[in-house]
Structure 1
């Protein structure tokens, strides 16, 4: 293009078209330089469609011009309103017919018309069949917003309707199905005019604006000399007409991205041509015809304007080298050509060849959004490895809804190792998703609608600004979480709060209940009994007990807040309430300043909108919550687009800025194009469409086309092809399917030219597609012959576990060369006996697998079961053995919150008390006389090991000795590990005190056992065997799951004769029993699910010889000395 002087020409509207946005940007820079205002303080105006486009333009212009200053980047709507204000008189700064203003007015006007026949449908929606005329204010507000949105669309796209309605013409042919709309519109206009000096709305403004400019002999004062419009995909017809009129008095430079250098205003897609019974060869380019309707209609709107055109189109195909698949597709669109031959089917010689190493178009088939991101991370790492010149800023990742993907993006890209970390930024997230202050503010507003469970309120308390307000430290919050759980807090602030949920007005398990217990526990112990019906919680002690006072302050503030949130007040009073909420609940610092200002601005906006709209009625708490949620969710977060990192964003208009790599995720048929059903009373949807009307599906189709054209090197597309639940097939977006069909029918993989068109298409699509496994640790990613790969080293242990044989891996030799322990405490031997494998990991490797933290319960107990049930049974059994008063124990457990409410609690307590009475009766004679004084025992033992005879001293404090012998008991079934522990104590007792030939007893609710006396020599022999295994277990794990081993050995004893036989029949039964215990079942917990056992064993099949030998050696003597006890 040669430079031109624009002054004095016949045209003041200039149209620049190119298929490359960066070409248009360079042209914009040159035109701005040529048209620089004489006054350097004159601000230049560049209209853009999104802040992202403005950011990109700033960076590009600054790079080319050295500096960009005094340039505004308004959005079209705000610029047009600014022009209205300059050209016309009495135009307010803010339109009284914006959606928010109309919504508040409709809130007041709509109820006044509900009794009229024309409004019967709205009345039925708002009131239903109820006789009362009390309208749900939240429902009315939501309806008013929808109606205001529809009227706003009419003002832009059907201003002739609103003008006719104002003149008294209802346009029955248009509004016959919704007769209330003209009536309500006139009410809205009359109400607005009566309260304001200006009667302008956008529909009338466009008409007056255009007329004023066309009759004006000179440019109105204040109009800019030039206006630049850059990269806007489409403008409404009214905007185009307004800009055309503006071009009579100032230069309008319109920079338009046009996908094709050919005229394509008459291009139609195949389905339209088939409906018209036309030749499908007239389609031009199928992709442009199918996806380009939005751009086509916009170009047609611009076509009749009096303008000067400058076209600068350039092909992406480099004549010096073979074009990539992506470049071919883009070039076809540019030249409006259809390379598909609809007449040839037998071979693919007519198709264009694609090199086998061409990766310019990639399609990845995944199982979930998280897997999409994990796969993308690996693929991007591969791209960086292959192209050293590729930078993070050269990559954009677009998804249909970034709010849905945001947490997973952070989880995948933000948790990688330093070697594989990629810089990234997430744009377009709602402000509430980015900042916990805003989210917690909405949670607080919804307080009356919530149960206030322990988890909900502690989550609020974890917000940093709230923690600062109540001066809570991290360790205090951790203690509070434990105390809240153990003190019995479940839900509800107090009894009255619980009653609002149709629950009994009982404060048990409420926050007040738990706080009373915690505060009383600081003053007195629980052993002192009940104090005014409250049982003290004992754990609140020391300086950290101050945290309970801080928690009490927090709950007090929530109680006061909830009382305020139960009544309606006007907007000004709501502002005061919400400001008090912030000051009472939060303590903001510099990091929260933006959110604090955002919230205060929200409160002011609420008052201003209600005041300007004349809405002085009471506003309900539900409406305030809905209003604040909508306003905050509509606001974007602070993350800047194009911040020099990999950009994650939502697919939005004109996000198709040129990038080397464009990635589109979530391209499923159900997700994209996004479907927004029209409202049932939308007259635009019920009447014939006009050119320039907006359609969300057409917008999304054009966005996909723009993204396709914006990719300079690689177009990366992924979608969820299979369900992660059942692997069922999922359908890709129709746009992805169209692109794949186009590629398959127009191109062929080099070497497949002799195949028929369908076969070659299938092979080519297989080449550009990659179907990924469900799990990131699939072995497919770590095989040298596989075309799949992963850079995630953290999955290697899982892959190794999949690939290892079922036999355990041998332990490192270094672990075998350690010395032996000369002194062993009894607790060490007992720990080994409970789980030899866990003992090896914890004692030798110093590895502990953390238990899952206990979850906060959110409902009061209806059944007493699990660990809580066992603890209660244990407590009740001890109380029975101490002859405690039954009624008193019921009162204490009720006060502790351990029992279900009401009659359920009484029934539960009575049942458990009765269930334990037989066990207590059996224990009374065994425990008669009380415990014998504890004795410290020390045994010097010798045991044979592979290195020879070893010496060891075993030390123990003898416990549970009564006059009848050693007694242990539990209020449940007796497990194998209970018997083993009793057996070890039995051995220590007889090895140390051979003169006391007493039995040992193990009693449970469902069975009782007795261990017969044995000699000191036998006891020492059996202990030596255990110590030998313990020493071996320090050097390598003893593969003996105790419960499975006990089930195995138990099957080898004849119940009639008492003999132990290891016959084939017994071994078969024993192995079945061991497998069942190891693998679990519907009513049995799997011992193999223990994390320590899982680290060594997949199942028992490969270790039977070692397993059986250890079980015989260690548990055989126990079984031989064990007999049933008839005490229970």
Structure 2
């Protein structure tokens, strides 16, 4: 789909690729076209993973238009718009043509039967503009030449297309000249390809001692004897001579092996030579007797993992560019006086992400291409698991049978095939059954309350659901996490202002729960003012509330005595826990890999760690004081 000429033939735009990847990931197509194809590649007939089943889902969804969810053992896939229906129609046309081609090239054939296969592929799958007609004409001629050569020598055995394609691709390299350089482009090559060819800028990547070995020939200027020159040429010396304006050299420390990498001796020699023989123009005092060849040397070694040296012969360009840099205007934040409680909760769930999305309009999406898999499912993906658990819970609370629900998810490919899917489904049912029992014990005539509170000059409005006679109940089908805790905490503060003697409880799987203690109206108002002010401050500047800081606070706070531990032993444990969460490991990506956090904190240091810890302590200590929160609730 990345090929432009193929897309144009089937009226698929480049902007449509993301939509198609999203649809394919929803359909969970894994491998194979149909039952015959499964048999041919010797795998069980897993019909729901096939392309033919996916196409049937789309077609039935188009005709039925959300009237049914399952029809004739087919899970109906509904598409929201007519534009997407047209796109899917074009894509299905491509898939069907590919399947026909697969059948054509599947078996061995005589050479004469292979003669027109490449011309047919070009005709059916590619839109050929005028400027590419010669290129495709050459490809057809190369293919015909290979086939006709075999026919001339009377090769009468049947042959597979794989053997012919190997020769075909070898011939294709003859269309391009080797060792050629494109002017106006970036040329990537090995050192041994360079023969004193001048370039404006040369970048040498990986200047480690291992990658650049020292030359053995003592007389490096002896270029007369070609044998000596070819065997012992000083590649680095030639590269420096080839550079017209800029020479960039870099080397990198290997983090995985924790092996110390040092720059090549060539770099250290150049730096020593520069310091000894040349001077920097921006210094006030210098020796005028020294020869002035190099105007500036830029050394960038702020990041300990990446070192780079740029030798620059033309500094004027840099100075001009600095003058032309436009000053960015400050962002004017418009803060509304009416604050919905949903907005307040969404902010406190992830203050940093909220700042980037709401104020800067920066939405970082995962690459959908990386989500597609060709492997058979042997587990339930996390997103599908979340949806499945919520559906099962809904059925249990309504006292419905879950057999039809199981079939629905299996036909949607959201569960592994056959017995594995059944085993995993039963495991999830057990967990949700315990949670539903917990909810039914506490739940008693739940109500929904609308409110409108005035806090300072701001109005907080919204609705609170699941209010029972004595308490406010929330539940989550996963393990209890910080987002669930902070959501209920905000609602609990409002609930304490509205009703006297009110308590709240958060229920999770495996019989876990967090109880929120009763707060007086004055205390609840005081806390709510604090969190509204935090919301207002966080819109202007991101609050550094991170999971690593929350874990640090949990490690150092003693609920029993309501104190922060100050002894060295507990402080060191808290720091270790902070860094574990920050750095992560081979199974879990640490917070430093989070794209939003990276932008704010490119590199951690003791000052930033202290700031994160103090921020989390200031904003989250009230939650720790007024709940029975435990270590396993945060992890």
TM-score by length of 2: 0.75
Question: Does the alignment pair 1:1004 with 2:508?
Answer: yes
TM superposition shift of 1:841: 3.6
Kindly indicate whether the alpha-carbon contact (under 8 Å) linking 1:722 and 1:728 is maintained by their aligned counterparts in 2. no
User: Match for residue 509 of structure 1?
Assistant: 49
Q: Tell me how far apart the structure 2 counterparts of residues 482 and 537 of structure 1 sit (CA, whole Å).
A: 13
Kindly indicate whether the alpha-carbon contact (under 8 Å) linking 2:556 and 2:564 is maintained by their aligned counterparts in 1. no
- Larger Rg: 1 or 2? 1
Q: Tell me how far apart the structure 1 counterparts of residues 314 and 415 of structure 2 sit (CA, whole Å).
A: 52
TM superposition shift of 1:1048: 1.1
TM superposition shift of 1:650: 7.2
User: Match for residue 1062 of structure 1?
Assistant: 564
Q: Give secondary structure in 1 for the equivalent of 2:98.
A: helix
TM superposition shift of 1:1095: 3.4
| Unmatched segments (≥5 aa) in structure 2 | 213-225, 278-296, 319-327, 631-635
Kindly indicate whether the alpha-carbon contact (under 8 Å) linking 1:833 and 1:1042 is maintained by their aligned counterparts in 2. no
Kindly indicate whether the alpha-carbon contact (under 8 Å) linking 2:32 and 2:51 is maintained by their aligned counterparts in 1. yes
Question: Does the alignment pair 1:1044 with 2:546?
Answer: no
User: Match for residue 343 of structure 2?
Assistant: 828
TM superposition shift of 1:601: 0.8
Kindly indicate whether the alpha-carbon contact (under 8 Å) linking 1:535 and 1:896 is maintained by their aligned counterparts in 2. yes
Q: 1:601 to 1:704 in 2, by over 3 A?
A: farther
User: Match for residue 218 of structure 2?
Assistant: none
- Counterpart mapping for 1:206-245 below 5 A: none
User: Match for residue 990 of structure 1?
Assistant: 496
User: Match for residue 217 of structure 2?
Assistant: none
- Counterpart mapping for 1:132-531 below 5 A: 461-524=1-64, 528-531=68-71
TM-score by length of 1: 0.45
Q: Give secondary structure in 2 for the equivalent of 1:937.
A: strand
User: Match for residue 1092 of structure 1?
Assistant: 596
Kindly provide the CA deviation profile for residues 719-758 of structure 1, in whole angstroms up to 9, marking residues without a partner as x: 99989675688999xxx99xxxxx9xxxx99x99xxxxxx
TM superposition shift of 1:896: 0.8
Of residues 430, 445, 452, the one that matches 1:938 is: 452
Kindly provide the CA deviation profile for residues 361-401 of structure 1, in whole angstroms up to 9, marking residues without a partner as x: xxxxxxxxxxxxxxxxxxxxxxxxxxxxxxxxxxxxxxxxx
Q: Tell me how far apart the structure 2 counterparts of residues 777 and 728 of structure 1 sit (CA, whole Å).
A: 11
Deviates more, 1:1093-1102 or 1:649-658: 649-658
User: Match for residue 104 of structure 1?
Assistant: none
Question: Does the alignment pair 1:542 with 2:82?
Answer: yes
Q: Tell me how far apart the structure 2 counterparts of residues 1004 and 886 of structure 1 sit (CA, whole Å).
A: 21
User: Match for residue 521 of structure 2?
Assistant: 1016
User: Match for residue 878 of structure 1?
Assistant: 394
Kindly indicate whether the alpha-carbon contact (under 8 Å) linking 1:476 and 1:544 is maintained by their aligned counterparts in 2. no
Kindly provide the CA deviation profile for residues 667-726 of structure 1, in whole angstroms up to 9, marking residues without a partner as x: 999999xxxxxxxxxxxxxxxxxxxxxxxxx99975997999999964899999989675
Q: Give secondary structure in 1 for the equivalent of 2:109.
A: coil
TM superposition shift of 1:857: 1.8
TM superposition shift of 1:591: 3.7
Question: Does the alignment pair 1:1118 with 2:633?
Answer: no
TM superposition shift of 1:1120: 3.5
Kindly indicate whether the alpha-carbon contact (under 8 Å) linking 1:1003 and 1:1009 is maintained by their aligned counterparts in 2. yes
Q: 1:657 to 1:1050 in 2, by over 3 A?
A: closer
Q: Which structure's relative contact order is higher, taking Cα pairs within 8 Å and 6+ residues apart?
A: 1
Question: Does the alignment pair 1:954 with 2:460?
Answer: yes
Q: 1:591 to 1:877 in 2, by over 3 A?
A: farther
User: Match for residue 272 of structure 1?
Assistant: none
Q: Give secondary structure in 2 for the equivalent of 1:1001.
A: strand
- Counterpart mapping for 1:30-109 below 5 A: none
Q: Tell me how far apart the structure 2 counterparts of residues 667 and 1011 of structure 1 sit (CA, whole Å).
A: 56
Q: Tell me how far apart the structure 1 counterparts of residues 611 and 239 of structure 2 sit (CA, whole Å).
A: 62
| Unmatched segments (≥5 aa) in structure 1 | 1-460, 673-697, 738-742, 753-769, 794-811, 943-950
TM superposition shift of 1:584: 2.0
Q: Tell me how far apart the structure 1 counterparts of residues 205 and 537 of structure 2 sit (CA, whole Å).
A: 55
Q: 1:479 to 1:614 in 2, by over 3 A?
A: same
Kindly indicate whether the alpha-carbon contact (under 8 Å) linking 1:571 and 1:607 is maintained by their aligned counterparts in 2. yes
Q: Tell me how far apart the structure 2 counterparts of residues 499 and 1042 of structure 1 sit (CA, whole Å).
A: 50
TM superposition shift of 1:494: 2.5
Kindly indicate whether the alpha-carbon contact (under 8 Å) linking 2:198 and 2:243 is maintained by their aligned counterparts in 1. no
Kindly provide the CA deviation profile for residues 795-831 of structure 1, in whole angstroms up to 9, marking residues without a partner as x: xxxxxxxxxxxxxxxxx9968x978642212122112
Of residues 467, 486, 491, the one that matches 1:980 is: 486
Kindly provide the CA deviation profile for residues 637-693 of structure 1, in whole angstroms up to 9, marking residues without a partner as x: 6x9957755794879999969768898989999999xxxxxxxxxxxxxxxxxxxxx
Kindly indicate whether the alpha-carbon contact (under 8 Å) linking 2:475 and 2:506 is maintained by their aligned counterparts in 1. yes
Q: Give secondary structure in 2 for the equivalent of 1:528.
A: coil
TM superposition shift of 1:565: 0.9
- Counterpart mapping for 1:1025-1036 below 5 A: 1025-1036=530-541
Q: Give secondary structure in 2 for the equivalent of 1:1095.
A: helix
Kindly indicate whether the alpha-carbon contact (under 8 Å) linking 2:548 and 2:577 is maintained by their aligned counterparts in 1. no
- Counterpart mapping for 1:436-835 below 5 A: 461-524=1-64, 528-636=68-176, 645=184, 648=187, 702=230, 714=242, 726=257, 781=308, 821-835=336-350
Kindly indicate whether the alpha-carbon contact (under 8 Å) linking 1:658 and 1:712 is maintained by their aligned counterparts in 2. no
Q: Tell me how far apart the structure 2 counterparts of residues 1099 and 667 of structure 1 sit (CA, whole Å).
A: 26
TM superposition shift of 1:576: 2.2
Kindly provide the CA deviation profile for residues 334-375 of structure 1, in whole angstroms up to 9, marking residues without a partner as x: xxxxxxxxxxxxxxxxxxxxxxxxxxxxxxxxxxxxxxxxxx
Q: Tell me how far apart the structure 2 counterparts of residues 653 and 842 of structure 1 sit (CA, whole Å).
A: 49
Q: Give secondary structure in 2 for the equivalent of 1:936.
A: strand
TM superposition shift of 1:922: 1.0
TM superposition shift of 1:1099: 4.7
What RMSD over aligned residues (CA atoms) do the two structures have, in Å? 5.0
TM superposition shift of 1:911: 1.7
User: Match for residue 860 of structure 1?
Assistant: 376
Deviates more, 1:659-668 or 1:982-991: 659-668
